[in-house]
Amino acid sequence: MIRPHGTILIDSLYVEDSRVRADRLEEAKTLPKLLINSSAAANLVMLGAGYFSPLKGFMDKADAISVAKELHTRQGLFWPIPILNLVQDATDLQHGDRIALCDPNIKHNPVIAIQDITTVETLTEDELSEIVQNIYRTSDSDHPGVETLLSLGRMIVAGPVEVLSYSYFETDFPDTFRTARQIREQIEANDWSKVVAFQTRNPMHRAHEELCKMALDSLSADGLLIHMLLGKLKPGDIPADVRDAAIRKMVADYFPNDTVMVAGYGFDMLYAGPREAILHAIFRQNAGCTHLIVGRDHAGVGGYYGPFDAQTIFDDEVPSGALNIEIFRADHTAYSKKLQKVVMMRDAPDHNIDDFVILSGTRVREMLSSGKPLPPEFARPEVAEILMRYYKGV
């Protein structure tokens, strides 16, 4: 099986032993408490689940700046986005403190992790602006990722962590949330050698379905991991439980048996385009996948990135040998009225835009909200029905 990023999967940050975990929770009652933000909580879940292997905790300022500017830590680990515990005020904390981190996403804010602090540092406005610009290629506060990062604070609390909870992901999505090791174990149990991953934060329509089938066929892959984001999205995006139901229905009805694994991960969407595409590749490599589908405007939002920037960054900014996982480069896919099937638009040079069935996200939401069926060329009727029920209840 493909080796993890950094050779060995570091997933021991989550305290598996229930007795040890109970001891840590008891210890946490005596420790200073820090209520973290949702972004830091999501980072903890990803650290505990092994997706951020080989990281062992939150980065300090020097590593954050190095990663943002140079795509590697000071020790030379290739990494695309700083993994931080940013807070508004940490003036009462210092090097050597052991603190309990409290989950902002669960009622009463239970302890999610214990952190041993190595440094407490403050980013200057210029340093924060530079990090933002390098990650997002924009400083526009209308960008949802930029807006979030600028809102988190400028104080960095760095240091290794022991993760005591997977927040709400395990309880809310017991059939879907999986750690990197759990996915690796399932891939091994399936006897899959070549595995292609599909990242999604949306329900899957016909174009997505056919894209996955194209990748499976083109790569002669043994299996497909449909790996959905379960964390926070921007307003207007469809909730994870609805997406989960729609995707599972599509897989059950339209994919061959035993070729698809549906799983989810506990992370908040960054909308960082090219940089986030690299991060997606790293944690799919950690989960045992050999390939990641990177399509048009992967992890993008609005018009902030070129349509294929998330592909070309692997050529321009990922050093040779830095990753073992490979990408499957996809164009926009749509139903061709001429050919009466879904195709990659680049493979139909004789078509114009009117030859395809293409609906904007806004138009899809309008149709679903008003109870109008989506065209069968765009969405499977069983999937559209699940989405329609959701929109009728909004």
What does pTM read for this prediction?
0.94
Spell out the domains of the chain, with CATH numbers in brackets: 18-167 (3.10.400.10), 178-265+271-393 (3.40.50.620)
Element (H, E) at 282: helix 274-286
Cα–Cα distance between 333 and 295 in angstroms, integer? 9
Distance CA 216, CA 388 (A): 29
Sign of the dihedral defined by the CA atoms of residues 390, 295, 42, 69, in that order = negative
What per-residue confidence (pLDDT) applies to 394?
63
Reading the block at residue 307, the tokens are 């349509």
Distance CA 48, CA 42 (A): 10
Which are the catalytic amino acids?
201-202
Q: How much is the pLDDT for 202?
A: 84
Instruction: Return the structure tokens found at 89.
Output: 């005020």
H helix or E strand, kind and range, residue 363: helix 361-369
Residue 137 has a pLDDT of: 97
pLDDT along the chain (394 residues), means of 10: 93 95 98 97 98 98 98 97 97 96 97 98 97 98 96 98 96 95 98 97 90 96 96 79 93 95 95 98 98 94 94 97 96 90 91 88 79 88 91 76
Strand, coil or helix: what is 391?
helix
